[in-house]
Structure 1
Amino acid sequence: MQREQWGTRAGFVLAAVGSAVGLGNIWRFPYVAYENGGGAFFIPYLFALLTAGIPFMILEFTLGHKYRTGAPGILKALNARFEWLGWFQVMISAIIAFYYVVVIAWAISYVYFAVGQSWGDDSNAFFFGEFLGLTGDNAPSSLGGLQWHLLPPLCLAWAATYYATYRGVRGGIEKINKVLMPLLFLLVLVLIGRIVFLPGAVDGINWMFAPDFSKIWDLKVWSAAYGQIFFTLSVGFAIMLSYASYLPEKSDINNNASITALMDCGFSMVAGILIFGALGYMAMAQDKALTEVVSSGVGLAFVTLPAAINLLPAPGIMGPLFFLALVFAGISSHISIAEAVTAGLMAKLGWSRARTSTVFCGVGFVVSLLFITQGGLLLLDLVDYFINNIALLGSCLLELLLVGWLCRLEDFRDHANRLSDFAVGAWWLICIKYVSIAMLVVILFGNILGAFRENYGGYSNSEILFMGWGMIAVMLVVAITINTTSKKEASV
């Protein structure tokens, strides 16, 4: 059966950008930049983009285009002993899909809440108490009851992903991203166009971009820059490998990879202007220092910014537009995550796309119910920490070690160059074999050391052991078991 293909180059690029541009661009990047030297942070950040982000993206586009299958099949083609790494990446995507969709459901709910600012004057109490029903126990294992009001938006979020993966590459994923991505950029630009003219907004933006060059010499700042690049570009966990496997025979790999990475990082900077403009206005309106109102993560999106929206002119318009932008960014990423799993399962099981997407989205919906319980936020927090800071970075490192040191890297460079308008040379080989690997070793070692030194989030030893390290151990065992089974089947 002939493999599906993207209908147009623009469709592929928009889908790849849609995968890379997610919630983290809006609520993580601005704070990371602010915390790590402001304008000075862009020096290591752009260096990381050129020496890790774009080279890694070119590598994954090349592998996907060359082998034309999901991540497990690609890793198996590189070295039969490493098929397990492909399945480990697929499981990373599956677990992220299970909890990421819940944050999209929150954003969908907040589109409605924002019309009349239903969160009231205390957005913190509303989000953690009334909306999530978070109990006083700091225990991810204490799930409590289901929050039934989160079920409809959760169904909507899964329905969008199911439609895209069921309809396929050209009829679902490409069509949806051709609508979502332009709308997302338009929404953010409209919001910026209004917010930058508010009093204090420019001061907030200056806070983010004001350079502190003393931090340039801090290794932690460079680690943060590389960590943000690996975090934001959707590399290392099956997505870009799967997307690139649907590229037509004649595809400009180097250009496509560079455009995707640059558009993602450009959106992050634009999102930073939006967020810090709003925070600057909020700080002035409340007569506070910006340091007193700035935050990151879900607290920024669902606590701090709702409080800022209360102060905005026409909050019933600005608020829904902001959360609609979050929904669009989330759904485009979630579709790509689900497709990474779908592609791997289709290749392994020989199932049709319709059957595979139905089974995965059905199972995913059931599992995601765990995260809309009263303790769901804590469970999400713990799982997300270990998946993103340990499993994902470990997967990136192993993939680069395999391709850079156990394969002939020059062959992949030649494959990409033969199809591309501009060629990459020795710098690309150096970035893959040395720079990216060295930075990943530093970041991953620091994360593992930090996880052992101090229990993340103050969670108990047993929860860290079983729900954090235990989850990664189970993923490894399952991946290696599948690899072993495949070897036995091949030898029969």
Structure 2
Amino acid sequence: MSSREVLSTEQRRGAFSSRKVFIFAAIGSAVGLGNIWRFPYVAYENGGGAFILPYLIALLTAGIPFLLLDYALGHRTRGSAPLAFRRMKKGTEWLGWWQVGICFVIAVYYAAILAWALRYTLFSVDKEWGADPNAFFGEKFLQGTPASDGITLDFIPGLLVPLGIVWAATLLVMALGVQKGVGATSVVFIPVLIAAFLILVVTALTLDGAMSGLDALFTPNWSALGHTSVWAAAYSQIFFSLSIGFGIMITYSSYVGKKTDMTGSGLVVGFANSSFEILCGIGVFSALGFMAQAQGVAVDKVADGGIGLAFVAFPTIINEAPAGALIGILFFGSLILAGFTSLVSILEVVISAIRDKFEMTRIGATLAVCAPAAVVSIFFFSTSSALHVLDIADNFINKFGILFVAVVSMVVLAWVVRALPVFTEHLDRYGSVSVKGWWTVLVAVVTPLSLGFVLVDEFRATIDEPYGGHPSWMLNTFGWGIAGAVIVLGVLASLVKWRPETSMELPPAAPDPASSTSATPTEEANR
């Protein structure tokens, strides 16, 4: 393929206008719902202040190295996840489609949480949840039924309408393209998100009891470092929060100029994500400290993770805190901003893959992906069974989807494809931080062993004790079934022939800086 043909292909795929836009988009993907409600609770449960040590070690030994692996794969191959693997070695394309399948599943239920956050932002104004937020969330808002009752398809207008709004907004942004949609959304939303959460943190720090909440979060329990579960939790948190291992960063890195500093960008994204997580911990536990003092109980009696923190604990705080409406709007508004930028990045993986495989227009691919995703999302998550299905799907696709494909991908790229020397040379060519030596050891040995341990440990725990007390048929359908289905569909998708015009060869590498005498304005902007 000639350089002119490569250029025209990249123009059709779309691109970020600059390195800055790429970094904002990558941060927008990494900073999601899990940062706001998952990290504070995980840190608290795993040693408090002492957890910061394994957390930072996990960031440096697994998070950033794998992030750079995703960057190298996408940036060198200039393709979506399936095309990137296919260009590296025939027979590995199915790994990319496995990642695409994972993203589709996550998008389907991620939109539901955004819809809930949208409603709760409005509820915050007049505290519509009343004196018992727990009963309101489960019985009135979700109108939940016991899992033993099976799947019920009683549609709930309070869920259907906001979910429709979320998908309409998502469809519009995705149709606008890489720069005007994905990039522009991130450039606007991420600064607004940071500003909103800073205001929330400052407000929470002024509440009575805030310091007791921070003491609970940051008081180190050094004995916890001797437990393997704490280290497993640290690696899991870093992995989930950085959006690595399931095609997002492969796709995003394929949209930036060939002379972009990818190693420097990776460090910015990695540390920005972790800094925001720590900021979230300060804000959330300041508020939980106030709640504990108001109720006359210890912080561990009100600290809860996941859905409970977002839609039960925080409404309780809002009921009792001065300026509660402001706290509610800032908190749930932050969930919307963080979640929307992540949802956009997740869907971009699927749309990019479809466009590469079938040479569809941007709007055509957007409709082909978002329309069925919206239908499935509305079918399952605007009904009274929404919470059960979401809980199971989220747990299994994260643990036995993302972690599993990540370990397999690393092993294949390092030991089967033998791609690490090529990637090292590519990253070092224009990178501001050299990866030669240390990065190869981490990606080929340390990171897969660490994540493999986490995966085996989670598998053993899930087999010993079925997740969440849900009935076996639901776990087998929406848990193990979905985790296995994305693998099967990945293999089947890889059997579909590419359009003849798509080159399976690696595009020309960026010229050596020493021999490069000039650059176009676009290349200069992308540096």
Please tell me the TM-score bracket, short chain as reference: over 0.9
Q: Percent identity?
A: 39
For 1:486, the aligned partner's letter is: K
Offset of 1:315 from its aligned partner? 1.6
1:334-353 map, 5 Å: 334-353=343-362
Structure 2 residue aligned with 1:447: 458
CA–CA distance in structure 2, aligned partners of residues 318 and 469 of structure 1: 38
1:316-395 map, 5 Å: 316-369=325-378, 370-395=380-405
Does 1:100 find its partner at 2:110?
yes
CA–CA distance in structure 2, aligned partners of residues 467 and 152 of structure 1: 24
For 2:29, the aligned partner's letter is: S
Give secondary structure in 1 for the equivalent of 2:92.
helix
Give secondary structure in 2 for the equivalent of 1:397.
helix
CA–CA distance in structure 1, aligned partners of residues 17 and 37 of structure 2: 32
Q: Which moved more, 1:458-467 or 1:375-384?
A: 458-467
Compared with structure 1, are the counterparts of its residues 134 and 55 closer, same or farther at alpha carbon in structure 2 (3 Å cutoff)? same
CA–CA distance in structure 2, aligned partners of residues 470 and 377 of structure 1: 18
Does 1:413 find its partner at 2:424?
yes
Pick aligned residue for 1:37 from 42, 47, 72: 47
Q: Which moved more, 1:106-115 or 1:1-10?
A: 1-10
Offset of 1:216 from its aligned partner? 1.2
Structure 1 residue aligned with 2:523: none
Structure 1 residue aligned with 2:261: 252
CA–CA distance in structure 2, aligned partners of residues 16 and 143 of structure 1: 38
CA–CA distance in structure 2, aligned partners of residues 58 and 476 of structure 1: 24
Give secondary structure in 1 for the equivalent of 2:496.
helix
Pick aligned residue for 2:448 from 437, 440, 454: 437
For 2:466, the aligned partner's letter is: N
CA–CA distance in structure 2, aligned partners of residues 343 and 151 of structure 1: 28
Kindly indicate whether the alpha-carbon contact (under 8 Å) linking 1:45 and 1:229 is maintained by their aligned counterparts in 2: yes
Does 1:88 find its partner at 2:132?
no
Give secondary structure in 1 for the equivalent of 2:129.
coil
Offset of 1:488 from its aligned partner? 12
1:70-469 map, 5 Å: 70-138=80-148, 141-369=150-378, 370-406=380-416, 407-469=418-480
Kindly indicate whether the alpha-carbon contact (under 8 Å) linking 2:18 and 2:256 is maintained by their aligned counterparts in 1: no
CA–CA distance in structure 1, aligned partners of residues 332 and 486 of structure 2: 34
Does 1:474 find its partner at 2:490?
no
CA–CA distance in structure 2, aligned partners of residues 148 and 211 of structure 1: 46
Deviation string 1:164-198 (CA, Å, 9 cap, x unpaired) is 21111111111111111000000010011111121
Compared with structure 1, are the counterparts of its residues 346 and 200 closer, same or farther at alpha carbon in structure 2 (3 Å cutoff)? same
Offset of 1:461 from its aligned partner? 2.0
- TM-score computed with the length of structure 2 as normaliser: 0.91
Report how many aligned residue pairs link the two structures.
Answer: 489
Pick aligned residue for 2:25 from 8, 12, 15: 15
Offset of 1:398 from its aligned partner? 0.8
Give secondary structure in 2 for the equivalent of 1:144.
coil
Kindly indicate whether the alpha-carbon contact (under 8 Å) linking 1:70 and 1:241 is maintained by their aligned counterparts in 2: yes
CA–CA distance in structure 2, aligned partners of residues 485 and 11 of structure 1: 34
Kindly indicate whether the alpha-carbon contact (under 8 Å) linking 1:201 and 1:276 is maintained by their aligned counterparts in 2: yes
Give secondary structure in 2 for the equivalent of 1:377.
helix
For 1:215, the aligned partner's letter is: A
Structure 1: runs of 5+ lacking an equivalent: none
Kindly indicate whether the alpha-carbon contact (under 8 Å) linking 2:358 and 2:498 is maintained by their aligned counterparts in 1: no
Deviation string 1:393-418 (CA, Å, 9 cap, x unpaired) is 10110111011112231210110010
Structure 1 residue aligned with 2:63: 53
Give secondary structure in 2 for the equivalent of 1:81.
coil
Structure 2 residue aligned with 1:6: 16
CA–CA distance in structure 2, aligned partners of residues 286 and 482 of structure 1: 55
Give secondary structure in 1 for the equivalent of 2:246.
coil
Deviation string 1:8-50 (CA, Å, 9 cap, x unpaired) is 2221111100000000001100000000001110101000100
For 1:113, the aligned partner's letter is: F
CA–CA distance in structure 2, aligned partners of residues 184 and 93 of structure 1: 23
Kindly indicate whether the alpha-carbon contact (under 8 Å) linking 1:160 and 1:331 is maintained by their aligned counterparts in 2: no
Structure 2: runs of 5+ lacking an equivalent: 1-7, 503-527
Give secondary structure in 1 for the equivalent of 2:114.
helix
For 2:440, the aligned partner's letter is: L
CA–CA distance in structure 1, aligned partners of residues 405 and 68 of structure 2: 17
Q: Which moved more, 1:143-152 or 1:59-68?
A: 143-152
CA–CA distance in structure 1, aligned partners of residues 148 and 284 of structure 2: 29
Kindly indicate whether the alpha-carbon contact (under 8 Å) linking 1:143 and 1:376 is maintained by their aligned counterparts in 2: no
Kindly indicate whether the alpha-carbon contact (under 8 Å) linking 2:357 and 2:499 is maintained by their aligned counterparts in 1: no
Kindly indicate whether the alpha-carbon contact (under 8 Å) linking 2:17 and 2:256 is maintained by their aligned counterparts in 1: no
Does 1:28 find its partner at 2:28?
no
Deviation string 1:336-380 (CA, Å, 9 cap, x unpaired) is 001011001110111111101122111111000111210111011
CA–CA distance in structure 1, aligned partners of residues 77 and 493 of structure 2: 20
CA–CA distance in structure 2, aligned partners of residues 160 and 12 of structure 1: 21
Offset of 1:487 from its aligned partner? 8.8
Kindly indicate whether the alpha-carbon contact (under 8 Å) linking 2:358 and 2:499 is maintained by their aligned counterparts in 1: no
Structure 2 residue aligned with 1:67: 77
CA–CA distance in structure 2, aligned partners of residues 206 and 9 of structure 1: 39
Offset of 1:470 from its aligned partner? 2.1
For 1:269, the aligned partner's letter is: I
- TM-score computed with the length of structure 1 as normaliser: 0.97
CA–CA distance in structure 1, aligned partners of residues 357 and 419 of structure 2: 26
Compared with structure 1, are the counterparts of its residues 443 and 118 closer, same or farther at alpha carbon in structure 2 (3 Å cutoff)? same
Deviation string 1:75-100 (CA, Å, 9 cap, x unpaired) is 11122111111101000000000000
Kindly indicate whether the alpha-carbon contact (under 8 Å) linking 2:147 and 2:388 is maintained by their aligned counterparts in 1: no
